[in-house]
């Protein structure tokens, strides 16, 4: 089958296949953020990325033949159902309460959260003593977690596991086989991203447009902690208040919420902006670490 036909088939399968759990943008979103980042790598960073991926392996030990940040961006979710991956499940999010205050020691115990692990794996990439295999793994975690921290529901919870306990109907659809029914977290991870891709005419329509130097500078500044706070603020301002049910800090709805065009229209610009920011910021931190 020609490469173009394979790519089209892959996109159709991606749009059809269901998703479950706290995946953090799903395969499409992570691939978009990684592809944007790869475009903005310096020549030296690109060289080092290529070197680290030269012998990249899949979870089963087979060669992956992956060579770009977009291609490896979903790896940390591909391994999530292995015993090793399950033991690192908390690495994918910072469960900061939507209401009230919480210290990092409460939602990031012993460094088991996305922001802490993103920082830790950047340190591994910068460590001249780390083995190529360890750096390869660290690179894949960095690429993935940089995407995760930009998904608002990976930086917030309303005592609902980041929206996983909020049941929704998405444009009339409820079933999410084989994972049960659709929830709020799933539509932010996957379903609204896929709808956005269809609305834009494909992933490349989000990846390809130039991002000017001024915009890159505006998005690229700041810290990992600041980027998490920004995502958290979007959950507080948009994700929960825009739901078709009165938001309250003192309670949660038990009904199935009907998510339609009104909610999607508010969410789509946030999703696109966050994916593009994730790409620019990922490029910045990799360019920095590979210039040392």
Q: What is the DSSP string of the chain?
A: --HHHHHHHHHHHHHHS---S--SSHHHHHHHHHHHHHHT--HHHHHHHHHHHTT-B-TTS-B----SHHHHTTHHHHTTTSHHHHTTGGGG----BSSS---HHHHSGGG-SHHHHHHHHHHHHH-TTS-HHHHHHHHHHHHHHHHHTTSGGGS-BSSSTTTTT-BEEETTB-B-TTS-B-BHHHIIIIIHHHHHHHHHTSTHHHHSS---HHHHHHHH-S-HHHHHHHHHHHIIIIITTTSSS---TT----SPEEE-HHHHHHHHHHHHHHHHHHHHHHHHHHHHHTT-
Per-residue confidence (pLDDT) for residue 42, from 0 to 100 = 98
Per-residue confidence (pLDDT) for residue 9, from 0 to 100 = 38
pLDDT in tens, 182-212: 999 999 999 999 999 999 999 999 999 999 9
Per-residue confidence (pLDDT) for residue 3, from 0 to 100 = 43
Domain ranges of the chain: 20-289
Per-residue confidence (pLDDT) for residue 59, from 0 to 100 = 85
Per-residue confidence (pLDDT) for residue 23, from 0 to 100 = 59
Per-residue confidence (pLDDT) for residue 22, from 0 to 100 = 53
Q: Considering the entire predicted model, what is its pTM?
A: 0.90
pLDDT in tens, 111-151: 999 999 999 999 999 999 999 999 999 999 999 999 999 99
CATH number of 20-289: 1.10.575.10
Residues of the chain whose pLDDT is less than 70?
A: 1-23
């Amino acid at each position: 089958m020609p490469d173009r036909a394979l790519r089209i088939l892959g996109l159709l399968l991606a749009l059809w296949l269901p998703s479950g759990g706290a995946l953090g943008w799903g395969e499409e979103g992570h691939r978009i953020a990684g592809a944007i980042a790869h475009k903005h790598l310096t020549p030296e960073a690109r060289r080092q990325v290529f070197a680290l991926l030269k012998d990249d392996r899949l979870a089963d030990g087979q060669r992956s033949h992956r060579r770009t940040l977009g291609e490896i961006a979903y790896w940390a979710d591909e391994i999530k159902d292995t015993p090793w991956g399950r033991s690192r499940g908390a690495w994918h999010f910072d469960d900061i309460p939507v209401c009230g205050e919480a210290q990092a020691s409460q939602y990031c115990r012993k460094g088991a959260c996305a922001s802490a692990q993103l920082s830790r794996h950047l340190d591994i990439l910068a460590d001249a003593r780390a083995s190529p295999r360890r750096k390869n793994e660290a690179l894949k975690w960095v690429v993935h977690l940089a995407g995760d921290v930009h998904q608002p529901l990976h930086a917030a919870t309303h005592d609902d596991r980041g929206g996983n306990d909020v049941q929704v109907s998405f444009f009339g659809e409820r079933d999410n086989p084989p994972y049960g029914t659709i929830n709020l977290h799933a539509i932010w991870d996957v379903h609204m991203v896929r709808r956005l891709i269809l609305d834009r005419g494909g992933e490349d329509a989000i990846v390809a447009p130039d991002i000017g130097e001024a915009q890159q500078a505006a998005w690229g500044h700041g810290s990992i902690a600041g980027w998490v706070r920004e995502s958290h603020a979007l959950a507080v301002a948009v994700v929960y208040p825009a739901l078709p049910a009165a938001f309250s800090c003192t309670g949660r709805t038990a009904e199935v919420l009907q998510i339609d065009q009104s909610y999607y229209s508010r969410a789509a610009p946030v999703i696109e902006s966050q994916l593009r920011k994730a790409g620019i910021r990922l490029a910045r931190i990799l360019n920095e670490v590979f210039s040392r």
